[in-house]
Each structure stands twice: as C-alpha cells, then as structure tokens.
Amino acid sequence: MKKFILLLAVIILMPMSVTAQETEKATGGEGAEKSYTVKKGDTLWDISDEFLKDPFKWPTVWDQNNEQIVNPHLIYPGQVIIIRPAVEKKVEEAVPAQPPAEKIEEAPKVETAPQDKVEEKPQAEVPPALPQKKTFIYPGIETTGFIVPDGFTYSGSIIDSKEDKVMLSSGDEIYINIGEDKGAKKGDRYSIYGKAVPIYHPVSKKLFGHQLNIIGILEIEKVHEKLSEGRITASYDTISKGDKIVTYEPMPSEIEVKKGEPRIEGLIIANRKGSVDIAEGDIVFMDMGKRAGLEVGNTLVVSLLERMTDKKQLLPAEDVGSVLVITTREDSSTALVIGSKKPFRVGDKVRMEK
C-alpha cells in the first residue's frame, strides 16, 4: 500500500516539474529581459560585455536604468540592473495556401524533338560580406575640450554684448575683435573658451600646455573693418566678456573604433573635471597625439605601475581600465574613460590595446 501511494505522488508531481522547467526556460531564454544585482567591482562596461556581448553598449544599459543610475561610473553593490537585449525580428517566407484536393487528370505527353545539351555557365562567386564597423556615440563630445601648447595663439575674444549683461548665454548678441582686416566673413563660426587651465607634466613637472574647455559657439552675422557682430548659438556654461575664441572645428557624431600601433604608450596628464580619482565616464587628457601615431577611435589600456602601500608592501602592476580617444592634436589627445575596475589617477600609464 505504501509503494502504491509513493508511485501515485510521483505521477502527480511529474507534470508540475515539467511546467516549472518550461517557465524557467521562457523567462531566462535568449532575448528575454534579465535582471542583475551589482557586485563589488562591477562596471557598466563589464556588465554590457557579459550580457550583451559588447562592452560598447554600456550607454544602452545606462539608458534602460537611468532612473536609478544617475552617474554611469557610480554603481553600487546591491543595485538591480535590468538588461533588455534587442530582439531581432525574423522574417518568414510566405507560403502559398494549398489548393483543395481534387482529382486532376494528367495531360497527354507531347513528344518533342531532341535538343542540344546546353552547358550551364558557372555562377559568379559572391564576395563575403564585409564585417560591420564598430562605432561609438558620445553625446556632448563638442564640450570635451583639449590641451594646447604654451604660447598658443587665439583667434580673438568677445569684447562686448549688445545688451548690458554680465553673464551671456545662447541667443545673446555680441561683438568680437575680428573684422575684415583679419579675414572674417558672415557665417564664420567660432568656439568659445573659458579660463585656460595650466597643465604640468606629472613626470617632468614642467608646463605642458593649457587645458581649454569649450563653453559655447558663436556665429558671425555682420562684419566691420575691425570687429564683427555675432550671436551665441550654443552655450554649455556661463559665457562672459573677455572669453577667448578660436575657429570652430566640427566634431564627429560617431567615432569608428579602430586598432592602433601597439608601440604607442604615454601618460594621463589631466582629468577634465579636476578630481583626484578618475573613473568610467570621465574625460582625460594624454601626453601623446598625432605625432606619436594616435588616431581618433583608438582604445588604450590604463595600467597602475608597481607601487608601495602604506605598510611598505610592493603591489604589482595592474590593468585597471580603458579609454577611447575622441580628439587628437599634434602632441596631446582627449579620451573618454569607457571602463574602470578601480579608480586611477593623473600620472598613470596608458598603452595601445592589442
């Protein structure tokens, strides 16, 4: 009797077990929404690489969770992140409906004269599809700025505004000290810069150049002999009389990620926001550029050199992050931190990713 009851219980539970397995498969299958609890040391870069198989998709994960993640390089253990992979739609071929079954009489066979055998021409080989280029989009790239060498010559400056204002912004009409005598033309555009920040090289301690942060863009509307009238078309920070201007250089809307020469290496010499610790999402400046062979789209690895702890213990060198070059000049470059396992600082080494 006991054996019969046990057998009956197994038979009853079997459908429930199958149903549970099917439910689990449906919720966790490929293309399904997933949730992930952040652990210590995680970054959006690593999470995108794990779940979306592409670390460059971290802005997508951030966008899907922007209500709880204010800053993309500040995520904390215990946070639950939702990952919604894009589901590719499969196009099925249309299958014509089958006609109703009827008895169809066979048509009489017609004898035809034999024809010469026609040789089939070999089909032309179809070249393999080229791999898609990987691109990266960074909103706000026009505000990142760059480093210019000491003695850099500006195009001019804002000398006054048509309205009596101390702080200027988008839409305000201004005067600049560039006129026909310097080749100014209606429609010319200029980038506006705030105070130039001196940058000293972390090794030589000598003045390397000045960090320029773009705070706005202006366009000339009317040209006079010694000056021009213009309008501020974009403002990213407070603009004032006396701010310097240089010829506007359009920034790419998309950056093509590309490999560079493995011999290229250098140092991080400044952090745009000026904080000590550098992490994912920050803008940094490096001491090499076009002259060294660096190109926009190159990815470099950030390494911590051997270092001594407070307790006099020597720690080995360690790769802790990666940066993507977004602008280059002759001897300097601007890069976005796209991954960081732990914070790093000005003076840490960067090398080309192999």
Task: Tell me whether residue 312 is in a domain.
Answer: yes
Domain count, the chain: 3
User: Above 90 in pLDDT, residue 351?
Assistant: yes
Whether residue 269 sits in one domain with residue 218: no
Considering 198, 221, 247, which residue would you say is the last residue of a domain?
Answer: 247
- CA distance linking residue 114 with residue 117, whole number of Å: 9
CB atoms closer than 10 angstroms to residue 55: 17
CATH of the domain at 68: 3.10.350.10
Query: Which pLDDT band holds residue 304 (cuts at 50, 70, 90)?
Result: confident
Token output for 118: 């026609």
Residues sharing a CB contact under 8 Å with residue 186, sequence separation 6 or more, in sequence order: 220, 221, 222, 223
SS3 243: coil
CATH of the domain at 219: 2.40.10
Whether residue 322 sits in one domain with residue 286: yes
Whether residue 234 sits in one domain with residue 264: no
Q: Residues 73, 78, 82, 83: is their CA dihedral positive or negative?
A: positive
Whether residue 161 sits in one domain with residue 222: yes
User: Above 90 in pLDDT, residue 323?
Assistant: yes
Strand partners, 209: 199
- pLDDT reported for residue 51: 87
Structural domain range at position 163: 141-247
Task: Tell me whether residue 127 is in a domain.
Answer: no
Q: What percent of the chain has pLDDT over 90?
A: 43
Task: Tell me whether residue 99 is in a domain.
Answer: no
CB atoms closer than 10 angstroms to residue 88: 7
Token output for 96: 């014509």
| pLDDT tens by residue, 54-106 | 877 787 888 888 777 876 767 778 888 888 875 333 333 333 434 444 444 44
Chain centroid to CA 319: 20
| pLDDT tens by residue, 183-223 | 999 999 999 998 899 999 999 999 999 999 899 999 999 99
Task: Tell me whether residue 267 is in a domain.
Answer: yes
- Residue appearing with tokens 């079997």: 14
Task: Tell me whether residue 91 is in a domain.
Answer: no
Whether residue 222 sits in one domain with residue 262: no
